[in-house]
Amino acid sequence: MKVARHLFLVLWSVQIIYAQKTAVPLPYAATKTDTSKLAMVVAPHPLASQVGAKVLRKGGNAVDAAIAVQFAMAVVYPRAGNLGGGGFMVIRMNDGQTNALDYREKAPLAAHRNMYLDSLGNPIPRLSQDGHLAAGVPGTVAGLLEAHRKYGRLPLRHLIDPAIKLAAQGFPISEAEAARLNNTQEAFRKFNTRPSAFLKPQWQAGDLLVQKDLAATLIRIRQKGAAGFYEGKTAQLIVQEMQRGKGIITLEDLKAYRPVWRTPLIGQYKGYRVISMPPSSSGGVALLQMLQMVEPFNLEQYGFHSTKAVHIMAEAERRAYADRAEFLGDTDFYKVPIDSLLNPTYLKRRMADFQPDKASASTSVGAGKFQLSKESFETEHTSIVDVQGNAVSVTTTLNSNYGCKVVVGGAGFLLNNEMDDFSVKPGVPNQFGLVGNEANAIEPGKRMLSSMTPTIVEKDGQLFMVLGAPGGSTIITAVFQVLLNVVEFGLDLDTAVNAGRFHHQWLPDQILIEENALSPEVRKELEAIGHKLQQVRYMAVIKAIQKLPDGSLLGVGDPRNPDDDAEGL
């Protein structure tokens, strides 16, 4: 290891940095809102949304465009776009058929439930977040190729070539990306065993980011499909990286990885049909729980961001997240009681102790009880509707900014730190403050629980909305609130996405509130009835498309991410 580290420092000192300062303005700009009669792509970066739109113009469908956007995001949005992570895709075809693809990362076969604990049984700080041991087996490449196998219309080369070109030729980075790369240099140097395209003494806006190793990896995927990543040279590079950094992902882990088609969760809310992601995502269950818990209340009459409405919604969020901590995990390993969690009688009982003039205490709420039958913020989301009316909602992640900070030597892509999304120890919070128990304990080959909530909504049997977000634990509540902003409070989609948000996740017992959310009067009234408030700068970042009454599509990116871009045809 000392020899490897010494070699790394030598290579770092003499490496060729594939970046140069440009004096010209950036050749791309984000459009936050766009309309179209034909099709729409909303993605976290203009270069990626442009790739998706071009695929649609070539005759590709929404799934083709989603795949192309994801490959492009692995190049232009390295802090969250990825080949080394995983995600979820919810699909609604124009005939109403739905499907959900789970390509969440898995725990390596050598993983075990106490792998992040010291000899006294206490979690070792950041061991599940930083470095090689934090990485789960990547699912992104397998997931995208499986979606293409089942639904794709264009040849794979048309979907991956734009990403190869962006990686090989480079693109000028934004000021925000330069700042993130600069802030991560110390971690890159600490946790990497080989030089990478991201290492540089000082990044500036306009610098050209060229990723030759990543381009070569993408070419192998184009040539050999999944075997170009999970076998052969790329797989060998991953395992060699693991060996240098004392990680545990093996060739066997990579070759054994498979994505899973799952039945979407579908629920009703006042005439709207909500289609969302089942476990190993917690998003669909929690979203449908919260919607059903607030449905009996007249939120429209109470008013947008009124004390009554916020109180009711926060109490529903509190209860849903308590259930999340106790009952949700990978259904391939744990019998998640989905039917019970979404049972109307159960959810009515969950709100039976709700008091309109008093906040509940999370210590007294806990998870619900029923008779069991013998069950990053740095993420990225894309919403797409094509010319035929097919819709895709896809969320993918590395978990933290730049994942575990490890770039696979010679392959050019970052690895995730999704192992932190397991319950490292029952009742101990992860980096987002979420707690979990046995349902989400570490087991070899198991998928860790996620908050990603890709969602599609119908009204009167027709497509109505496609939405989702990055944002760690705040994803679910952001989707919940933006949907209610439109269907209950009558906000147009642009205003609904821009509006300030609030979030309660059971533990810690507080409501997070964005700086521009809730009036001083409402805040005082919430505190008067017992809520603890904690202000934050911003939370989840929604990307949404709404089908308007005249049949046109309104695409909206979120101002919380300067690069969010809506691209209509």
Model confidence pLDDT, tens digit, residues 230-252: 999 999 999 999 999 999 999 99
Chain centroid to CA 515: how far?
23
Query: What is the rounded CA–CA span in Å between residue 50 and residue 389?
Result: 19
Cβ–Cβ < 8 Å for 208, 171 = yes
3-state secondary structure of 486: helix
pLDDT above 50: residue 50 = yes
Written in H, E and C, the secondary structure of 358-412 is ECCCHHHHCCCCCCCCCCCCEEEEEEEECCCCCEEEEEEEEECCCCCCCECCCCC
What percentage of residues in the chain have a pLDDT greater than 70?
92
pLDDT band at 424 (very low <50, low <70, confident <90, very high): confident
Q: Are residues 21 and 52 in the same domain?
A: yes
Q: Are residues 491 and 399 in the same domain?
A: no
**pLDDT at residue 439, as a whole number:** 87
Tokens 């109490």 belong to residue: 315
Q: Are residues 179 and 154 in the same domain?
A: yes
Cβ neighbourhood burial of 525 (10 Å; 0-12, 13-18, 19+): middle
Whether 169 is in a domain gets the answer yes
Q: Are residues 204 and 326 in the same domain?
A: no
Model confidence pLDDT, tens digit, residues 494-524: 999 999 999 999 988 999 999 989 999 999 9
Cβ–Cβ < 8 Å for 69, 380 = no
Q: Would strands 462-468 and 378-385 be described as parallel, antiparallel, or unpaired?
A: unpaired
Q: Are residues 429 and 461 in the same domain?
A: no
pLDDT band at 434 (very low <50, low <70, confident <90, very high): low
Whether 294 is in a domain gets the answer yes
Q: Are residues 82 and 216 in the same domain?
A: yes
Rounded mean pLDDT of 23-49?
A: 92
Q: Which domain covers residue 338, as residue numbers?
A: 272-377+452-549
Tokens 């949304």 belong to residue: 49
Q: Are residues 470 and 335 in the same domain?
A: yes
Whether 499 is in a domain gets the answer yes
pLDDT above 60: residue 11 = no
Whether 112 is in a domain gets the answer yes
Rounded mean pLDDT of 80-92?
A: 97
Q: In total, how many domains does the chain have?
A: 2
Output the CA–CA distances (angstroms, integers) from residue 432 to 97, 129, 272, 328, 400, in the order listed: 35, 11, 31, 16, 10
Model confidence pLDDT, tens digit, residues 351-409: 999 999 999 888 777 655 544 332 245 789 999 999 999 999 999 999 999 999 999 99
* Active-site residue, selected from the candidate residues 193, 379, 453, 455: 379
Structure tokens at 186: 């110390």
Across the beta sheet with 260-262, the strand order is 260-262, 98-103, 86-92, 391-399, 378-385, 40-43, 565-568
Q: Are residues 344 and 470 in the same domain?
A: yes
Output the CA–CA distances (angstroms, integers) from residue 452 to 55, 154, 284, 298, 368, in the order listed: 25, 28, 9, 28, 22
The reply to whether 234 belongs to the active site is no
Q: Are residues 282 and 362 in the same domain?
A: yes
Q: Are residues 97 and 173 in the same domain?
A: yes
What are the two backbone dihedrals, phi and then psi, of residue 427, each rounded to the nearest 5 degrees?
Answer: 85, -5
Query: What is the rounded CA–CA span in Å between residue 278 and residue 100?
Result: 8
Model confidence pLDDT, tens digit, residues 248-284: 999 999 999 999 999 999 999 999 999 999 999 999 9
Beta strands in 471-525 (DSSP E): 502-503, 511-514
Please list, in sequence order, all residues whose beta carbon lies within 8 angstroms of the beta carbon of residue 205, skipping any fewer than 6 positions away. Answer: 26, 172, 173, 174, 175, 178
Whether 446 is in a domain gets the answer no
Rounded mean pLDDT of 320-341?
A: 92
Q: Which of 562, 512, 518 is nearest to 541 (CA)?
A: 562
Percent helix, strand, coil in the chain, to 5, is 35, 20, 45
Query: What is the rounded CA–CA span in Å between residue 255 and residue 242?
Result: 15
Structure tokens at 149: 């196998």
pLDDT above 50: residue 21 = no
Whether 137 is in a domain gets the answer yes
Whether 524 is in a domain gets the answer yes
3-state secondary structure of 567: strand
Q: Are residues 298 and 239 in the same domain?
A: no
pLDDT band at 163 (very low <50, low <70, confident <90, very high): very high
Residue type, 436: G
pLDDT above 80: residue 529 = yes
Q: Are residues 365 and 288 in the same domain?
A: yes
Please list, in sequence order, all residues whose beta carbon lies within 8 angstroms of the beta carbon of residue 72, skipping any fewer than 6 positions away. Answer: 45, 47, 48, 51, 52, 81, 162, 163, 166
What percentage of residues in the chain have a pLDDT greater than 90?
86
Q: Residue 257: how many CB atoms within 10 A of its CB?
A: 23
CATH number for the domain including 526?
Answer: 1.10.246.130
pLDDT band at 13 (very low <50, low <70, confident <90, very high): very low
Whether 558 is in a domain gets the answer no
Q: Which of 289, 343, 298 is nearest to 316 (CA)?
A: 289
Calculate the average pLDDT of the chain. 92
pLDDT above 70: residue 302 = yes
Tokens 């980011």 belong to residue: 209
Cβ–Cβ < 8 Å for 430, 421 = yes
